[in-house]
Amino acid sequence: MKKKILFMVINMNVGGTEKALLNMINEIPESDYEITILMLEKYGGFLDSIPGNVKVEYVDGYKEIKDLLNPPPLKVVKGFLRTGRLFKAAGFFTVSLLSKLLNDKILLMKYALRSTSTPVLKDKYDIAVAYAGPMDLISFFVAKKIKADRKIQWIHFDVTKIGFDKNYAEKLYKCFDQIHVVSREGKEKFLSLLPQMDRKLAVYPNFVSRKSVTAMAEQGRGFEDAFEGYRILTVGRLSKEKGQDLAIQVISKLKEKGFNVKWYCIGEGNARKEYEQLIRDYGVEKEFILLGSNSNPYPFMKQCDIYVQPSRHEGFCITLAEAKCFNKLIVCTDFTGAREQIINNETGLIVDFDAEQTADALVKLLKDEKLRDKIQRNRNTRSETENTADIILFSSPSA
């Protein structure tokens, strides 16, 4: 009989977490496992990439939950009062106040799910995974609303950088049998906040299939302009944590130094307008190109000269792992997990989150042919034996 596994995510937006999930699912033998993806909302550029054998379900009533949990509590109370729902207003005000006074977010989560139309899932699973983590609602939903023999919390981010609620996690993570973190450095940072979770913690780097990535690189067109200089590429959601604002500053410095370069960004996000203004402020409209979202960035990775990951923080950067599949010259900031993927000055360059340092690193690559040759030679050698991750989700975890 097949084992039943459920993975819960927010949606299937084009992002690293969602891509990592798809990569892993593609490696799980269909003959042994029945897989379900549960989403909070039916949305995302990767929806069509979900394999046909995977069941897809959505949380009924998520909009009601979101309308309770996302706005400031006072705004929710005023909304109830405007529509004449006095008991609702009083109930929500009381619970939100108690939640704040007791520093117990679980109270508010319980109220939100109990007072909406969201049902408990009827099916029972062998394994249920809160995959988009740490994400408070998903963790709570898997812990309290899903029946499973074994429950796993997956941590994709640097918990010291994202406003991680230690008190909430300490209470809720007791419901999970295991906690998976995507890098060794990420594990150490998690333990610095919750050392009592040590026995539950295991490291599972995000899986990247070199075969799949390189095959997809042959299926798209890539760059279509006639530019003949150096192409720099960054892939990631347009947001502060991904650091495209740093990249805009860096390209302006390279322009001032007279280098014939263009920097292309694949991704979409809520910082687009801010970045468009920043591009105008620095006068790099012709040098810094926002290409928008693309579920297949691999032709661009294959064709670019240098790949740069300027993130403020990561858990395990999957786009960096993908760029490595093409043996590219790489510059990245020193985010969590970077040194587990790149050996500084050997297989790439690692810099602080600093415009001057990043510009200097790129200038070194652009001017020093011997350095470029050494890095690419080392990358070629390591790529023959490098394994980004093993699919060991269902066996004993590694420390």
Domain boundaries, the chain: 3-60+119-203, 216-383
One of 3.40.50.2000, 3.40.50.300, 3.90.580.10, 3.40.50.10860 is the CATH number of 216-383, namely 3.40.50.2000
The 10 Å Cβ neighbour count of residue 381 is 12
The per-residue pLDDT for 382 is: 66
**What are the residues facing 151 on neighbouring strands?**
128
Mean per-residue pLDDT, 303-324 = 95
As given in the structure block, the two tokens for residue 359 are 């510009």
Q: In CATH terms, are 3-60+119-203 and 216-383 the same topology?
A: yes
Q: Position of tokens 């108690």? A: 98
H helical segments located in the chain: 16-27, 62-69, 73-82, 86-101, 105-114, 136-145, 166-172, 184-193, 210-216, 244-256, 272-282, 298-303, 318-324, 355-367, 369-383
389 pLDDT exceeds 50? no
Write out pLDDT tens, residues 2-26.
999 999 999 999 888 999 999 999 8
395 pLDDT exceeds 60? no
The per-residue pLDDT for 43 is: 87
| Whole-structure pTM value | 0.85
Tell me the CB-side half-sphere exposure of residue 328, using CA atoms within 13 A.
Answer: 29
CATH number of 3-60+119-203: 3.40.50.2000
3-state DSSP of 184-234: HHHHHHHHHHCHHHHHHEEECCCCCCHHHHHHHCCCCCCCCCCCCCEEEEE
Sheet of 288-292, strands arranged across: 288-292, 261-266, 230-235, 306-309, 329-333, 349-351
The span from the CA of 351 to the CA of 366, in Å, is 16
Strand, coil or helix: 62: helix
Write out pLDDT tens, residues 264-308.
999 999 999 999 999 999 999 999 999 999 999 999 999 999 999
Q: Which residues have C-beta within 8 Å of that of residue 319, sequence separation ≥ 6?
A: 16, 235, 236, 297, 309
383 pLDDT exceeds 70? no
As given in the structure block, the two tokens for residue 87 are 């008991």
Q: What is the mean pLDDT of the chain?
A: 91
As given in the structure block, the two tokens for residue 360 are 């200097």
Residue 328: which of 354, 355, 347, 352 has the closest Cα? 347
| Amino acid (one-letter) located at 351 | V
First to last CA, the chain: 30
**Residue percentage of the chain with pLDDT more than 90:** 76
As given in the structure block, the two tokens for residue 256 are 């001032």
The per-residue pLDDT for 117 is: 63
The per-residue pLDDT for 390 is: 40
Q: Which residues have C-beta within 8 Å of that of residue 117, sequence separation ≥ 6?
A: 60, 61, 64
- Is 312 within 8 Å of 353 (Cβ atoms)? yes
Instruction: For strands 147-155 and 349-351, give the pairing.
Output: unpaired
As given in the structure block, the two tokens for residue 393 are 């989700």
118 pLDDT exceeds 80? no
As given in the structure block, the two tokens for residue 313 are 């923080």
**What are the residues facing 230 on neighbouring strands?**
261
